Structure 1
Amino acid sequence: MTKTSRPLTLSDFDFDLPPDRIALHPVEPRDAARLLHVRAEGFSDRIVRDLPEILREGDVLVSNDTKVIPAQLEGRRRDARIEITLLTREAGTDRVEWWAFARPGKKLKIGDRIDFAGDFAATVLAKAEDGQIRLGFAGDEARFRTALAAHGWMPLPPYIRKSRAVLRRDDADYQTVFAAREGAVAAPTAGLHFTPELLAALKAKGIEQRRVTLHVGAGTFLPVKVDDIARHRMHAEYGEIDTATAEAINRARQEGRRIVAVGTTSLRLLESAAKDGRVLPFADSTDIFITPGFRFQIADLLMTNFHLPKSTLFMLVSAFAGVTRMRAAYAHAIAKGYRFFSYGDASLLERAP
């Protein structure tokens, strides 16, 4: 980790990223994506399909089984076009209410009706200081889910939506092979690289596979707006680790086997549930913000995509593998033409001492 006499600031996580390095489509097949193996002794250029060769027998692969919902909606308030991104379902009510981002949202007023289709509409119930609005949908949960499936679109990251249209093939491309439990409004993108064939090869190698759930929120795309990163606050996301999974991970650690987190979402959930070097069963929200200096307790390796400058995700990987090492790894990746962000290539990071 970089030694410094001052606190790290947002500018410490900036780097030059050529726009053409940001992927707008995934590679086919998924496990043909490139994989940069980052170790203390240097870097190795591999592909995701090489994972069974790189990992060890007995390693535990922990992936996120959240399923992305079609949370992007387009509607109208009278004559104005409104874009809605659903964020989190309002807890403690039997009615179908969601917090969301609206664009444009400043002119929306409490009581306004937004029509998405002839039988699908929402009413603005509340507005928050951070720009979120609370929407109430008519009907029960089943009716809402049916309408959302018919009229919603995959909530691709804003930079993709600005560069191309959202396609129906994104319904499959932006969903991982692990997806089982609906609730995410952004994909756990490291999981996008896995295929049934790759999972079978990992199983044959003797690599244990476990699932956790963290429903990824749209806050993962929000920029850090303060130079003093200690003042940044993460949006809370709901996650679960069941007892059997926690016990399996703890048993592996006791036996000296390595824990491999697939994605920053799995890592954040494992570390949120950690106490005294053990994983506890977990069913709660977490807003954990991992920056250099964080003491990791559970994960030994992290598989993750390449992240954007000044992002909380680049701060996390810098905390995990070291600021200096990650700056060098990203410089190598840019020079070698690796593809960045959600539909991009992957890295496999070994934790710094």
Structure 2
Amino acid sequence: MKISDFYFELPEDLIAQSPTRKRSESKLLVLYESGEIIHKKFKDIVDFLGKDDVVVLNNTRVLKARVYGRKKTGGNVEMLFFKADSEKKYHALVGGRVGKESTILIDNVEIKVIQKKGNIFIVDEEEAKIDFLIEHYGTIPLPPYIKRAANTDDEERYQTIFAKYKGSVAAPTASLHFDEGVIQNLMKKGVKLTYITLHVGPGTFLPIKSENIEDHKMMAEYCEISNETADIINTALRSKKKVLFCGTTVVRAIEWASIEEEVKPKNGFADIYIYPGYKFKVVKNMLTNFHLPSSTPLLLVCALAGKDAIFNAYKEAIKKKYRFFSYGDAMLILKRD
């Protein structure tokens, strides 16, 4: 398959630049496996779930991972810090012309970087030093299609309300729509909430450069699925209850940790790549946002619901003026009960 087959035109004014005033007031497009589409508000998601159904969420927390510095020669440098594979040292996605081995100044703090591949560098410094720089000099790393600087509001709104474990350079955006009211209404109905942790890496910003989608390689991201979460999901599946997996990060984590039709407790670096033709082991129902053309998240939702159904839903969303991407509206992909 060609990546160009997954391109679509999107009016620029539909790329959300800021969140809605209230999280749960986002629009919700509901797509059934039949292709039927209905339009709701996100707060209505509680109507699609019942007693002992399960909602699976990602409790990662976004780091203030974007840090601005300068080279000793004076040129400005932008760095996006992240963890990769099992290596202890931070890596950085570097914007600006930097040599294979360079020293970068952040305020008056020197850090050494060594080129790994392209604009990805290994940061040759202790972890605690970079943690300090992130905490004191970092900003929330909004995606490049948001054409403004991050502000203090983003420090709250580009986090889920259940964000707990620091490690991501991007939010699990499908879950940004949940607010306390929605969570309380789900719990009142007897819906069970459970969590995985997947720290989103910079691969979320990187385009697919190969024309054949099969040739693309995903960057590994750290992931944890606990015994408790695996048990809750497996019990619901055996009982024929609905399990809703919230976001591409949760879907990838669960499929990575599953064998046949059972979720296993697991932790490590997941590099699973889901694209059309993939046979899902566990996931049937999914909450997601509207994704960039020709992107890995778009390929994933096409694998789950079918390319024609997804592209038809996107066409409908554009017609109805849905907001796209990280701060945009949501889509609920459901199998009929």
Whether TM exceeds 0.5 here: the answer is yes
Task: Identify the residue that residue 102 of structure 1 maps to in structure 2.
Answer: 94
Task: Identify the residue that residue 110 of structure 2 maps to in structure 1.
Answer: 121
In structure 1, C-alpha distance between the alignment counterparts of 2:190 and 2:12, rounded to whole Å: 40
Paired residue type of 1:10: I
For 1:283-294, what aligned pairs fall within 5 Å after superposition? 283-294=267-278
Q: CA deviation at 1:168?
A: 2.1
Q: CA deviation at 1:92?
A: 5.0
After superposition, the C-alpha distances for 1:202-260 in whole angstroms (9 at most, x for unaligned) are 00111110000000001012111111100011111010001111111111111111210
Q: SS of the counterpart of 2:152?
A: coil
In structure 2, C-alpha distance between the alignment counterparts of 1:9 and 1:288, rounded to whole Å: 19
In structure 2, C-alpha distance between the alignment counterparts of 1:269 and 1:258, rounded to whole Å: 18
Task: Identify the residue that residue 3 of structure 2 maps to in structure 1.
Answer: 10
Paired residue type of 2:104: I
Q: SS of the counterpart of 1:158?
A: coil
Q: Indicate if the aligned counterparts of 1:98 and 1:134 stay in contact, CA closer than 8 A.
A: yes
In structure 2, C-alpha distance between the alignment counterparts of 1:328 and 1:219, rounded to whole Å: 27
Paired residue type of 1:18: P
For 1:35-184, what aligned pairs fall within 5 Å after superposition? 35-39=28-32, 40-78=34-72, 79-88=74-83, 91=86, 93=88, 97-105=89-97, 107-110=98-101, 112-118=102-108, 120-124=109-113, 126-137=114-125, 141=128, 144-160=130-146, 163-184=147-168
Q: CA deviation at 1:58?
A: 2.1
Alignment equivalent of 1:27, drawn from 20, 33, 49? 20
After superposition, the C-alpha distances for 1:177-213 in whole angstroms (9 at most, x for unaligned) are 1210111111100111111111011001111100000
In structure 2, C-alpha distance between the alignment counterparts of 1:92 and 1:205, rounded to whole Å: 43
In structure 2, C-alpha distance between the alignment counterparts of 1:74 and 1:199, rounded to whole Å: 37
Change (3 A) 1:60 1:340: same
Q: CA deviation at 1:341?
A: 0.3
Q: Indicate if the aligned counterparts of 2:49 and 2:242 stay in contact, CA closer than 8 A.
A: no
In structure 2, C-alpha distance between the alignment counterparts of 1:191 and 1:27, rounded to whole Å: 14
Task: Identify the residue that residue 187 of structure 1 maps to in structure 2.
Answer: 171
Gaps of 5+ in 1: 1-7
Change (3 A) 1:246 1:240: same
Q: Indicate if the aligned counterparts of 1:321 and 1:351 stay in contact, CA closer than 8 A.
A: no
Q: Indicate if the aligned counterparts of 2:35 and 2:309 stay in contact, CA closer than 8 A.
A: no
Q: CA deviation at 1:169?
A: 1.6
Q: TM-score, normalised by structure 1?
A: 0.91
Q: Indicate if the aligned counterparts of 2:284 and 2:304 stay in contact, CA closer than 8 A.
A: no
Paired residue type of 2:124: G
Q: Indicate if the aligned counterparts of 2:64 and 2:134 stay in contact, CA closer than 8 A.
A: yes
Change (3 A) 1:176 1:151: same
In structure 1, C-alpha distance between the alignment counterparts of 2:87 and 2:272, rounded to whole Å: 23
In structure 1, C-alpha distance between the alignment counterparts of 2:283 and 2:241, rounded to whole Å: 11
Gaps of 5+ in 2: none
In structure 1, C-alpha distance between the alignment counterparts of 2:237 and 2:325, rounded to whole Å: 31
Q: CA deviation at 1:165?
A: 1.7
Q: Indicate if the aligned counterparts of 1:90 and 1:99 stay in contact, CA closer than 8 A.
A: no
In structure 2, C-alpha distance between the alignment counterparts of 1:32 and 1:137, rounded to whole Å: 44
Q: Indicate if the aligned counterparts of 1:258 and 1:299 stay in contact, CA closer than 8 A.
A: no
Paired residue type of 1:251: T
Q: Indicate if the aligned counterparts of 1:322 and 1:352 stay in contact, CA closer than 8 A.
A: no
Q: For this pair of structures, how many residues does the alignment match?
A: 335
Q: Indicate if the aligned counterparts of 2:276 and 2:299 stay in contact, CA closer than 8 A.
A: yes
Q: SS of the counterpart of 1:25?
A: coil
In structure 2, C-alpha distance between the alignment counterparts of 1:89 and 1:229, rounded to whole Å: 23
Q: CA deviation at 1:90?
A: 7.3
Structure 1 runs of 4+ off > 6 angstroms? none
Q: Indicate if the aligned counterparts of 1:259 and 1:298 stay in contact, CA closer than 8 A.
A: no
Q: SS of the counterpart of 1:76?
A: strand
After superposition, the C-alpha distances for 1:281-316 in whole angstroms (9 at most, x for unaligned) are 010111111111111121221101000111111111
In structure 1, C-alpha distance between the alignment counterparts of 2:199 and 2:52, rounded to whole Å: 28
Alignment equivalent of 2:259, drawn from 265, 268, 275? 275
For 1:199-348, what aligned pairs fall within 5 Å after superposition? 199-348=183-332
Identity %: 37
Question: How much is the aligned-residue C-alpha RMSD, in angstroms?
Answer: 1.7
